[in-house]
Amino acid sequence: MYAIIRAGGKQAKVSSGDVIEIEKVRSDGDELVFTPLLVVDDKGNSVSDRATLEKAKVKAKILGETAGPKVDIFKYKAKTGYRRRQGHRQRYTRIEITTIDLPKARATKKTAPAVSEEE
């Protein structure tokens, strides 16, 4: 079973046991809960109904914080003496997906097709 979640303005495909890095999240506890955008079960059936997905939850455990690679920014204009140097390191939160909870879908009744009576 896997799910598509939205974290930090980006989407990620996750399954139980995955360890991913998302943009830094401030959280009081050690657990995060996401609402999935799409869930695909082990049989290959996908669930994209909003009413069902609002009840579904993807739970993750916070493992720690890391920093991404250093990005150097250098602006330069020729013959004017204009030079600007700047750097950036994006902060990430490392999480481990613990469970994907999907409520049981109601069984839909299959109705027989309407038979038209011709006289």
Task: Tell me the pLDDT tens digit for each residue of 24-82.
Answer: 998 888 999 999 999 998 888 999 899 999 999 999 999 999 999 999 999 999 999 99
Task: Answer whether residue 118 is part of any domain.
Answer: no
Task: Answer whether residue 47 is part of any domain.
Answer: yes
Task: Answer whether residue 116 is part of any domain.
Answer: no
Reply yes or no on whether the pLDDT at 87 is more than 60: yes
Reply yes or no on whether the pLDDT at 17 is more than 90: yes
The whole model's pTM is what? Answer: 0.75
Task: Answer whether residue 70 is part of any domain.
Answer: yes
Q: What is the number of structural domains in the chain? A: 1
Task: Answer whether residue 115 is part of any domain.
Answer: no
Range of the domain at 36: 2-101
Task: Answer whether residue 68 is part of any domain.
Answer: yes
Task: Answer whether residue 110 is part of any domain.
Answer: no
CB-based burial label for 74 (10 Å; 0-12, 13-18, 19+): exposed
Reply yes or no on whether the pLDDT at 109 is more than 60: no
